[in-house]
C-alpha cells in the first residue's frame, strides 16, 4: 500500500463523501486506502459513504477524542508506507495526493509535505509560512512600527535552503512516512484541537525537511465552528481553545521562558487596555464603562488562560479541552 489517507470525522459525513469522490476522481497511479476515525459515531449515518466506497475503513473512536488521538488511531490502523492526514472539509481537483507521494519517494531529505490551501475559486488562502510567523502573532503590542520591529528582532524571519521549504505544515493536508511518524510517537495526544500540527511540524523538522510544492494543492472549505471568534479587535484577537493549544505548543517546543513571556504580555496588556479606555471615556465626558465590551471580553479570556497556566507550565497530561463555559466567544454570543 502506497498511501493511507486518514480522516477525522465529527458529524461531517456529507463533506467527507464529497471529499472521497474528489479523491477517487482525481488520484492516479497510486495504491491508496481511506480510513475514517469517527469521533461522534451515529449508526447508519455513514451508510451512504460505505455503500459508495465499500473499501473505506470506518473506526468508531467511542467518544470525541479530539484531533490528535483520532489521528493516532488512524496511524496505527494504516497499512500504507506513507500517511496523509486530510480534513473531511477538503476537496482535491488534480493528482495532488499522487504528486505529494512522488516528492517524498524521490527525495530522501524530505520527511513531510503539506498542501497549499485554496478557496472554492482556487485562490490561495492565507496561512503562516513558518513557525515564527505564528509566534509573532501571539504578542499584543501597540500597533506602532517600533514595537513590531522589536518582535521581529526577537522572532526573525526564518530562512531555508530551498524556496519550497518550511517548518510549519497545516494539518488539513499533511503527508509523511509511517516510519517517521511512529519514530516520533505520532501526534501529541495532550492536544485536543488546534496547534497540534505546529507541534508535530516542530518535531518532524528535526528529522529532515518539510515542504510545500506548487503541484500539491487542495480546496479547504472553511466553515463555521464552535471556537471561532465573534468579537475581534487588535487586542482581543484570539479564541480561548486555540490559544490554550498554542500555549501548550509553545511550552512543549520552546520551553518555559517563551511560555511565560506570552503570559507576561497578556498580564500587562489587560490592565493597560482598561486604563486606556476608562481614561478616554472620562476625558470625553462619558461613563467610565461606556463601550468597554472588548475590554471585558479580553479580561475574561485572560482569566480562563490562567486556569491552564500551571497545568501547561508543569506539563501535566492532557488533552487540553476547554469547558463550554470557558468558550467566551460562544458565551457572549448566546
Pairing state of beta strands 209-220 and 110-118? parallel
Q: How far apart are CA 106 and CA 22, in angstroms?
A: 25
Do 133 and 202 reside in the same domain of the chain? yes
Q: Which three cell numbers stand for residue 95?
A: 493528482
Q: How far apart are CA 305 and CA 236, in angstroms?
A: 13
Domain containing residue 178: CATH number = 3.90.550.10
Do 186 and 324 reside in the same domain of the chain? no
225: in domain: no
Do 262 and 215 reside in the same domain of the chain? no
Q: How far apart are CA 71 and CA 65, in angstroms?
A: 10
From the number of C-beta atoms within 10 Å of its C-beta (0-12, 13-18, 19+), residue 12 rates as buried
304: in domain: yes
Query: If phi over 0 gives left and psi between -120 and 50 gives alpha, with beta otherwise, what is residue 181?
Result: alpha
DSSP classification of residue 226: T
228: in domain: no
Rg of the chain over CA atoms, in angstroms? 21
Do 195 and 266 reside in the same domain of the chain? no
Do 262 and 133 reside in the same domain of the chain? no
Do 164 and 295 reside in the same domain of the chain? no
Phi and psi, residue 245, nearest 5° = -65, -40
Query: Treating both helix axes as pointing N-terminal to C-terminal, what angle do 240-254 and 256-283 enclose, rounded to 10 degrees?
Result: 140
297: in domain: yes
Q: Which three cell numbers stand for residue 152?
A: 521581529
Q: Which of 216, 9, 10 is nearest to 104 (CA)?
A: 216
302: in domain: yes
Do 122 and 158 reside in the same domain of the chain? yes
Question: Is residue 249 within a helix (H) or strand (E), and if so which, with residue range?
Answer: helix 240-254
235: in domain: no
Domain count, the chain: 2
| 49, 295, 307 from 247: Cα distances, Å | 37, 21, 12
Q: What is the pLDDT of residue 226?
A: 57
230: in domain: no
Do 259 and 151 reside in the same domain of the chain? no
Q: Which of 80, 70, 65 is nearest to 176 (CA)?
A: 80
Could you list the residue range(s) of the whole structural domain that residue 81 is in? Answer: 3-220
pTM score of the predicted model: 0.95
The domain boundary residue, chosen from 192, 220, 248: 220
Do 167 and 20 reside in the same domain of the chain? yes
Q: How far apart are CA 174 and CA 199, in angstroms?
A: 13
Angle made by CA atoms 93, 99, 105, in degrees to the nearest 5: 160
Do 38 and 142 reside in the same domain of the chain? yes
227: in domain: no
Q: Which of 282, 72, 86 is nearest to 172 (CA)?
A: 86
Do 75 and 216 reside in the same domain of the chain? yes
Q: Are 139 and 265 in contact (CB under 8 A)?
A: yes
Question: pLDDT by residue for the chain (334 residues), tens digit each?
Answer: 999 999 999 999 999 999 999 999 999 999 999 999 999 999 999 999 999 999 999 999 999 999 999 999 999 999 999 999 999 999 999 999 999 999 999 999 999 999 999 999 999 999 899 999 999 999 999 989 999 999 999 999 999 999 999 999 999 999 999 999 999 999 999 999 999 999 999 999 999 999 999 999 999 997 655 555 566 677 888 999 999 999 999 999 999 999 999 999 999 999 999 999 999 999 999 999 999 999 999 999 999 999 999 999 999 999 999 999 999 988 887 6
Amino acid at each position: 500500500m502506497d498511501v493511507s489517507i486518514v480522516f477525522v470525522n465529527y458529524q461531517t459525513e456529507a463533506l467527507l463523501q464529497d471529499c472521497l469522490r474528489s479523491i477517487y476522481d482525481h488520484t492516479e497511479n497510486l495504491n491508496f486506502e481511506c480510513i475514517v476515525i469517527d469521533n461522534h459515531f451515529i449508526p447508519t449515518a455513514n451508510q451512504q459513504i460505505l455503500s459508495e466506497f465499500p473499501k473505506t475503513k470506518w473506526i468508531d473512536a467511542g467518544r470525541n477524542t479530539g484531533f490528535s488521538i483520532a489521528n493516532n488511531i488512524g496511524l496505527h490502523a494504516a497499512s500504507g508506507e506513507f500517511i496523509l492526514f486530510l480534513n473531511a472539509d477538503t476537496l482535491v481537483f488534480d493528482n495532488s495526493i499522487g504528486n505529494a507521494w512522488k516528492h517524498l519517494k524521490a527525495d530522501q531529505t524530505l520527511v513531510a509535505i503539506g498542501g497549499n490551501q485554496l478557496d472554492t475559486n482556487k485562490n490561495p488562502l492565507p496561512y503562516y509560512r513558518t513557525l515564527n510567523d505564528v509566534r509573532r502573532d501571539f504578542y499584543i503590542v501597540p500597533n506602532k512600527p517600533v514595537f513590531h520591529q522589536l518582535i521581529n528582532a526577537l522572532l526573525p524571519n526564518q530562512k531555508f535552503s530551498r524556496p519550497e521549504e518550511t517548518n510549519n505544515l497545516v494539518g488539513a493536508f499533511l503527508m509523511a512516512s509511517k516510519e517517521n511518524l511512529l519514530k516520533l510517537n505520532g501526534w501529541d495526544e495532550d492536544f485536543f484541537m488546534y496547534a497540534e500540527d505546529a507541534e508535530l511540524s516542530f518535531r518532524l523538522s528535526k528529522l529532515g525537511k518539510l515542504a510545500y510544492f506548487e503541484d500539491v494543492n487542495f480546496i479547504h472549505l472553511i466553515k463555521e465552528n464552535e471556537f471561532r471568534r465573534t468579537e475581534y479587535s487588535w487586542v482581543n484577537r484570539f479564541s480561548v481553545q486555540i490559544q490554550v493549544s498554542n500555549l501548550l505548543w509553545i511550552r512543549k517546543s520552546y520551553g518555559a521562558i517563551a511560555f511565560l513571556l506570552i503570559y507576561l504580555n497578556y498580564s500587562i496588556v489587560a490592565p493597560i487596555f482598561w486604563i486606556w479606555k476608562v481614561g478616554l471615556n472620562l476625558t470625553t465626558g462619558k461613563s467610565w464603562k461606556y463601550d468597554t465590551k472588548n475590554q471585558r471580553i479580553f479580561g475574561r479570556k485572560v482569566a480562563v488562560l490562567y486556569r491552564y497556566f500551571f497545568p501547561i507550565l508543569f506539563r501535566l497530561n492532557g488533552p487540553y479541552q476547554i469547558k463550554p463555559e470557558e468558550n467566551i466567544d460562544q458565551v457572549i454570543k448566546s
